[in-house]
Structure formats: structure tokens, C-alpha cells
Structure 1
Amino acid sequence: MSFDRPFSAMTSLAAPVVAALVLLAPALMLPTRVQAAQQSALSDSAKSDIAGSDDSKSEGVKAPGSQTTGAGNAGNIASVDQANPAQPRSITSRAIDKVKAVAKSAGDIFSRVPCLSPKGGVKSMGSLPHVAGKLAAGQPVVIVAFGSSSTAGYGSSSPEFTYPNRLAAQLHRKYPGADITVLNRGVGGEDAPEMMKRIQTSVIDAKPDLVIWQVGTNAVLRNLDPAETAKMVEDGVARIQAAGADLVLVDPQYSPKVYERAESASRMVKLLNKVAELRHVGIFPRFEVMREWHDEQALPIDSFVIADGLHMNDWGYACFAQLLGDDIIMSVGQIKLGVNVPSSVQKYRPM
């Protein structure tokens, strides 16, 4: 994997994308608009209702509840409306309507910038026989999203737009009658050393059918030895496999803060791929996919990364979840067609 295109190359794209940025402005300003609508006009009690699930104090991360369905925010807003049925268009109700409008706009975020599959195709996550078999058979499914702040959802405008919630919503749309639970087990600032301490209670005790493990970014930022991180991840993968779950690793994001440590990031990506190959598990190449957004689709960095130069925004999380969900859905389709590809087979195909 080549790391020869620093983020300074982004400046050469400025002229062609000015018009695109104008169109993107409503989506990119979404967190600010939501925050302004909530904070400037709502009473303390209304604020509490709307932001009830944003109670995490770790790393300033918005951490949704254990089960994510992608609709929690809408339910909270509805309860505020019902609590004040007699108020004739008060400041509070107008602010709530504004928040609803912003949320609806965010729901069709792909109408402004579509989420495209990588042009050249990337390595498949491999088959997910356990979770795909249960979905195909109509059995309950538990998915655990395990990781740090980009799993918890730092940078999203609300819990609804974290990647686990977006993934849950996509799977519920595809399988409306299925019993699918997606648990968000992201804790900001962690990497393999901290995650291994809670892998039993946060992951294995939930008896998951699929674990999506996002790891490696904070190891790069903290200058941890990539080889030591990979060894801990391999041990964790073995424990999750022994519990009978499918597993997908997610490598670091392509963003300015990560690229500042390009050599370490390159080693981390390569070593995580090696772990996936040795343990016969899937890997979602987030670094490669995000670099495709910038280099091939000519998207400015700030169209999918927030101002801190590290975390994804609503669009970034949404597209990440969409591509990840597409691979899960394809694996279910293979099972239904009788094409039960062993997880040890690493095929190549477009995502």
C-alpha cells in the first residue's frame, strides 16, 4: 500500500471543488445547526429530552446506548412535542421543528454527495457464515461494534448518525422482520491494551454473532509499537473466534492527524491485514476507502473529516456504514443462494 500522497495534495483540488463545497455546505454545517437549534431556544428540560443519550464523559465522545436502532433521537423529540400539546408555536416547538428538519436533511445526505463503491475494488471482508446464516434463517442476531471514539461516534451530530446506528438502520431496512441488535461498545481514546482488558465484558459476554473491531488509530497517535498492537489484536481475535462469532477488523482512518505519522500508520495497516489473513477473518480497509474518497473521487478532506483532522463527520460515518452493511448483505445473499464461502477464503471483488 502506497503512502506517497500527503494531504498537501488537497490544495490542488481546491478550484474544481468550489462549487461542490457550496452544495455540501448544508451537510457540513449540520453539527453546528443542530447544536444551535438545541442550545439557543430549548428549555433545560427540553434539552435533556433531546440529548438524553449523550451522557458520556469519556474523551468528550457521544456514546449512544447499548442497543442502537438509528431512531432514538426522533423518539425523544416526539416525547417533547407530546408533553406540550397546548403550546401554540412557542419558541421551544419552533426550535424542535428546526431540529427535525435538520435531521431529515441529514437522512438524505447521500443525495448531495453519493456514497460510491471504490472504483478499483478492494479486498473482500470474506464470508460471514455465522451471522449470514442466522439472518438467512430468520434467527435473532447480535452485532457488537467494538472500538474507540470513531465507534462511539465522536464527530457525529447526534447518536443517530454514528456508524453503528447507521448500520443498524440499513440492516433493519433490508430485513424488516429480523430481530437485529447492534451494540455500541466504543470508548474514546482506547486502543488494543485497554480494549483487551474489557473484551470479555464488552464483547464476549454479549454472545455476539458478529464483532466489528475498529482498532489501531490511537496506537499510531500514541506512538505505540505496531507489532505489539498487532500481537494483542491477534490474541483478541482468537478469543472472539473461540466464542463462535464472525469478526471483521477495521483499520485506521485516512485523515491528516493519522497521516502525520505515515510510517507508523503504514505498518499498522499492513500488520492488521496480516492478522486478518493469518486468523482467517474479514477486514474492512477503512484507510484505503477513505483515501479513495480524497484521491479518486476528489472529495475535500473536510467533506468527510471534522475540523480536528481526525474524526469522521456524518457523511463519513454514513458512507463507512453503508459499505460495511453492503458486504454483510452480500454475505447473506450468498448463503441464501447456497454459496457458503468459508470465512478462510479471502476473495477479491468490488465492494
Structure 2
Amino acid sequence: MGFGGTSFRTAIIAIPLAALVLLAPAAQVQGRAEPAQALPTDGTQAATTGTAGIDQLQQKSLAGKAIEKVKEVAKSAGDILSRVPCRSPKGDGKSMGSLPHVAAKLVAGKPVLIVAFGSSSTQGFGSTSPEFTYPNRLAAQLRRQYPGVDITVVNRGKGGEDAPEMMKRLQTEVIDVKPDMVIWQVGTNAVLRNLDPAETAKLVEEGVASIQAAGADLVLVDPQYSPAVNAKGENASRMVQLLGKVAELRHAGFFPRFEVMRDWHEKQSIPFDSFVVADGLHMNDWGYACFAQLLGDDIIKSVGQIKLGVAVPPNVQAYRPM
């Protein structure tokens, strides 16, 4: 997920990852050093020079098209949140405060690896392009904030899964890559499949303990507030409550996505179709963008606290914005 070299990444830090892939071939062609060759002494010189000139024009044309595509994608990414402003929920918001490891590395300018672990809303179902998934939006935001740091966000989302399936791949796909931080989105499919919330919470607590034992910071993300989840009202409410309790007991970060999205709909009067796709479950580009923005804001707040030497007591380390 990371960009290429540091200077390249810094120069176009706000450009989404997929756009950089489009730009790479042209940049590589222009920057490649060719070995020196003796010019021919016969009449082939003009033909060779003509061919080289055509190649250069073609390369410039490809580079120009790639740059235009980059600009187009960057503009569409910027336009997402201008359609509807992304506002934090009102209330006594607290910083996550439980991200000392990743915050210390960002302050020191050391490389940071974040794993986004979850199901389809981590994978990005409902987004119109890979750069609009929440992990890619979060990566872009953090890179803008810390342009001198090598920041990588790895997407380990797999649609349809919940805690039982995720626990089977936790070691190999998350812990073994030695992340500095894990963002674990869980619980939605358990609600939709009528799994016992208490059993799900027990598995999640085991997973949280394993992640923390490996030395990574952790943020839990609960189910989304959407028509399909709300139809399972009792199960959804219980799941949200138990996941918050796990975060509190384990002194882990907690992003209450359910309450944040409820605030969008009930307090900010944003209709569901402005942040949820037609299936009534998955977020759209705006939903992912605002989710990533608010999550990124809280990571940045945590870094700010480390810079100021603020020690956050364990009993307030679970994030509560409402």
C-alpha cells in the first residue's frame, strides 16, 4: 500500500494510490538512464534519430495522459466531502489516547505500518474505486499530515466474515506482518447472521489480547448504522454495547461507528442514501471518506498528545465522541 521512494511520495502526497500506479510507468521511462552509444557514421543516423524522436513524443503523450488521469482522480477524491460536509458528532469528544506506539513512531519520523482488518466495509464494498475505500482514504490523510514519514496501510478486509473467520487468519494476516497499529472492524456480519453477541465479544477480546501482546496499538470499530443492521435492532444494540465494553476493559482504542453514523442521520439530517448504497448496508464513497476522515483526525489527536507529553489515564483511553 505504500508509495514508492520518499521524494516521489512527498511531491505528490495528496494523490491517491491507484493514481500513482497509473503515473509510475511514464515516470520510470523518463527517469531511466540509457548507456552512451557511438553515433553511426553512415546514413542510418537520421533514421535512428527520427525513431528516437517518435519514441520521445509517444512517451510524453503517455506521461501527459497519466498526469491528466491523476488530476482527474485527485479532483474527484477532493469533491467527495464537498458534496456534504463531514462534521464530527457534537458532544464532549475525547481523543483515542490509546495509540502510544504508532504516535511515538510518527513523532520520531519512523516508518509506520497499519493493518486494516475486517470484512466487506474494510475491503471497500460499495466504493466506486479502490482509492475511495476507507484504508486508502486514511492513508492519504496521514501522509498529508506527516509527509516525511513512510506510512503504509494494508487492507486485510474480507467480505462476509466476522470474528470466527477472522480469528483463523489473525496470526498470519495481521500479527505476523508486525503492524504498529491494527484497526479491527467487526460485528456487522455477526448481527446479520444472528450470532450470539456475547460469543462474538469473547472471540474479539481474545483477538485484542493477541494483538496487544504482539506490541501493536489497536482500534476497534463496531457495526455501521444502516437500514440492514437496524432491522436487527436488539442484536445490533447488544453487539455495539459489548464491543465498547471489550475496548474499555482492554484499554484499546474504540471508534463508535454506529453512533457516528446515527448522528449523521438523526442529528445532521443526512438521508441514508447519502452515505449508504442501495443494499441498505454498505457505505458509499462519502460514507467511507467521512469515516476515514474522523478516524484519521483522532489518530492525529493522539500523536499531538504524545508531542505535548500528555499521559492519558487508562480509564479514558476508549474513544467516546458522543
Task: Decide which of 123, 134, 145 is 1:163's aligned counterpart.
Answer: 134
Alignment-derived partner of residue 201 in structure 2 = 230
Distance in 2 separating the partners of 1:286 and 1:110: 18
After the TM superposition, which residues 31-70 of structure 1 pair with which residues of structure 2 at under 5 Å, given as runs? 67=2
Matched-pair contact (CA < 8 Å) for 2:255–2:319: no
Alignment-derived partner of residue 19 in structure 2 = 74
Matched-pair contact (CA < 8 Å) for 2:247–2:318: no
Distance in 2 separating the partners of 1:317 and 1:148: 14
Task: Decide which of 112, 118, 121 is 2:83's aligned counterpart.
Answer: 112
The unaligned stretches of length 5 or more in structure 2 are: 4-12, 30-54
Secondary structure of 1:108's aligned partner: helix
After superposition, the C-alpha distances for 1:84-130 in whole angstroms (9 at most, x for unaligned) are: 9659x9xxx99x96896365223232222111010124564333111
Distance in 2 separating the partners of 1:121 and 1:318: 23
1:212 matches 2:157: no
Matched-pair contact (CA < 8 Å) for 1:284–1:324: yes
Amino acid at match of 1:341: V
Alignment-derived partner of residue 10 in structure 2 = none
RMSD: 2.8
Alignment-derived partner of residue 294 in structure 1 = 265
TM-score of the superposed pair, with normalisation by structure 1: 0.74
Distance in 2 separating the partners of 1:348 and 1:251: 12
Instruction: Report which of the two structures shows the higher radius of gyration computed on alpha carbons.
Output: 2
Alignment-derived partner of residue 321 in structure 1 = 292
Comparing 120-129 with 73-82, greater Cα deviation is found at 73-82
Distance in 1 separating the partners of 2:109 and 2:182: 19
Distance in 2 separating the partners of 1:80 and 1:242: 41
TM-score of the superposed pair, with normalisation by structure 2: 0.80
Alignment-derived partner of residue 125 in structure 2 = 154
Alignment-derived partner of residue 47 in structure 1 = none
Alignment-derived partner of residue 243 in structure 1 = 214
1:309 matches 2:254: no
After superposition, the C-alpha distances for 1:291-333 in whole angstroms (9 at most, x for unaligned) are: 0000111111000001111000111001000110111101111
Matched-pair contact (CA < 8 Å) for 2:126–2:285: yes
Comparing 179-188 with 97-106, greater Cα deviation is found at 97-106
Structure 1 residues 174, 123: closer, same or farther in 2, change over 3 A? closer
Structure 1 residues 187, 67: closer, same or farther in 2, change over 3 A? farther
After superposition, the C-alpha distances for 1:271-308 in whole angstroms (9 at most, x for unaligned) are: 00111111111110000000000011111100000111
Structure 1 residues 80, 175: closer, same or farther in 2, change over 3 A? closer
Alignment-derived partner of residue 341 in structure 1 = 312
Amino acid at match of 1:322: Q
Structure 1 residues 317, 335: closer, same or farther in 2, change over 3 A? same
Percent identity over paired residues: 75
Amino acid at match of 2:104: G
Matched-pair contact (CA < 8 Å) for 1:126–1:344: no
The unaligned stretches of length 5 or more in structure 1 are: 1-65
Matched-pair contact (CA < 8 Å) for 2:133–2:288: yes
Structure 1 residues 348, 183: closer, same or farther in 2, change over 3 A? closer
Matched-pair contact (CA < 8 Å) for 1:191–1:219: yes
Distance in 2 separating the partners of 1:114 and 1:157: 19
Matched-pair contact (CA < 8 Å) for 2:182–2:219: yes
Amino acid at match of 1:75: L
Amino acid at match of 1:231: K
Structure 1 residues 347, 201: closer, same or farther in 2, change over 3 A? closer
Alignment-derived partner of residue 229 in structure 2 = 258
Alignment-derived partner of residue 48 in structure 1 = none
